[in-house]
Amino acid sequence: TPHMPPDQPKLPDETLAVIRKWIADGAPLNADSKPQKTAAAQQPAAPHPPITHAPSETPMPDAAPRTLAPAPPRPVAATAIAASPAAPLVAVCGAEQIALYHDNSGELLAALPFPEGRIERLQFSPDGLWLLAAGGQPERSGRVVIFDVRSGERLFEIGRMYDVVLAAACDPFRELVAYGGSNRVVRVFDTLTGKTAYELRKHNEWITSLAFSPDATLLATADRAGGLFVWEALTGRFVFELRGHDGAIHALAFSPDSQTLLSAGDDGVVRMWNMDDGRKIRQFNAHAGAVLSIDVAPDGRLVTSGADRRVKLWEPGGKAMRTLPELEDWAYSAAFSSDAARVYAGDWCGNVEVFDCGDGERKRRFTTTPAAPQSN
């Protein structure tokens, strides 16, 4: 089993941080041993510690830029939406920019430039201090960018691929960033050393989705031919191959306790996998067409979106709770708000709808082309 320790509760974050440091120092046998460091381990560490607790202040983009990019002829598809786990903040993809909105008021707070091109993936770190953005220009370039949420500063520019980065994920400790695309390779970047930690070359098709488990022990990777693998996050050691998908897998997510992996794609089915033995726990028909996104709330509830224009809420075990009002076109992305009381859902036309999870009513609507922010 890849869990630490086996058949027992996960180790405290403080203990995991000590283990990570021991590995980085060359895994000495005892206090008198001379660690055998790799070249990567000898590089100076980036100026951030592992996450062991929430930040002392709510991370909001108070010092981030607010200048908007030129508006496109029409809104771009809402392919990526993410909510901060630590603040009332929502990130929405746009035309070469990321708009940051206040979750409660809907006010546009900041606009982070992303001149690399279209955005395929957005993700906040668990402490809300970092925002990952991945994308690029088809057949030209691709990159992953890590932003400081408070200042809007670019902390890392990762990848430099020759095609769009289709999938990317940051681990809960802000130490590893996985990314991939049409080259069929998953690369994992170490933010402490500034180097590639390892590469995964088991996929035979484009990489379409990636996810780290909340306890930071596992990395799940998926491709457009239905390939689905699970790896040890720290080392890249192979753990499971999960078979059952025939077509592309568009979405991966872990349960809050890291014990279950959810996967979904072209066949409209959500599959749930046990991470102790790799066996499928259950599956359920979610959409009449491809499932395009999955998000999991802290209490285990699920929200899915699909090519049938629908956004649906589910109980942790997969029992249907509510179908939200139909969107105008393909429902590309859906994400719970920071307090999991609302759902943000985006479609191919560039519309973003905000729904109340309790009554299913629409609360707000805007597009991926934001209006100018209010002046202070």
| Cα–Cα distance measured from residue 283 to residue 317, given in angstroms and rounded to the nearest whole number | 9
Domain map (residue ranges) of the chain: 10-42, 71-367
Segment 268-286 mean pLDDT: 98
Q: Which CATH superfamily is domain 71-367 in?
A: YVTN repeat-like/Quinoprotein amine dehydrogenase (2.130.10.10)
- Comparing 33-42, 66-75, 122-131, 338-347, which segment has the lowest mean pLDDT? 33-42
Torsion of CA 344, 347, 352, 353, to 10 degrees: -60
Using CA atoms, how far residue 220 sits from 93, 238, 268, in Å, is 24, 10, 19
Task: Compute the half-sphere exposure of residue 65: CA atoms within 13 Å on the CB side of its CA.
Answer: 13
pLDDT band at 141 (very low <50, low <70, confident <90, very high): very high
Provide the whole-model pTM: 0.85
- Comparing 57-71, 265-279, 347-361, which segment has the lowest mean pLDDT? 57-71
pLDDT tens for each residue of 328-373: 999 999 999 999 999 999 999 999 999 999 999 999 999 999 987 5
- Whole-number pLDDT of residue 35: 42
- Whole-number pLDDT of residue 117: 96
Segment 148-169 mean pLDDT: 96
Q: What percent of the chain has pLDDT over 90?
A: 82
pLDDT tens for each residue of 13-38: 666 555 555 544 544 545 454 444 33
Q: Which amino acid is residue 296, in one-letter code?
A: V
| Cα–Cα distance measured from residue 172 to residue 35, given in angstroms and rounded to the nearest whole number | 27
